[in-house]
């Protein structure tokens, strides 16, 4: 998994698929919220998680990758 995170091909795929997956009617709202809520919380209130000194963008990218893989695997969207 970590080897793929460094792959430009993987990130190109994630960036191409994230918006269509978020707009897809095949992916339930609850699944979309599993990506959106943690990302927004981390962007708005990163001080709530003082033990995780990870940049906001890095957390968002990891969440994007996770959501894309999960949605494509579960819903084939």
CA 4, CA 69: separation in Å to the nearest integer?
A: 12
The stretch 4-13 carries a mean pLDDT of: 78
- What range does the domain containing 28 cover? 2-75
Domain count, the chain: 1
Which pLDDT score is estimated for 68?
93
Asked if residue 8 has pLDDT above 70, the reply is yes
CA 32, CA 5: separation in Å to the nearest integer?
A: 21
């Amino acid at each position: 998994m970590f080897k793929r995170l460094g792959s430009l091909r993987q990130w190109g795929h994630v960036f191409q698929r994230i918006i269509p997956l978020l707009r897809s009617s095949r992916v339930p709202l609850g699944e979309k919220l599993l990506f959106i809520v943690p990302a927004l919380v981390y962007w708005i209130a990163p001080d709530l998680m003082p033990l995780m000194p990870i940049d906001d963008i890095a957390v968002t990218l990891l969440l994007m990758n996770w959501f894309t893989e999960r949605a494509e695997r579960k819903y084939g969207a």
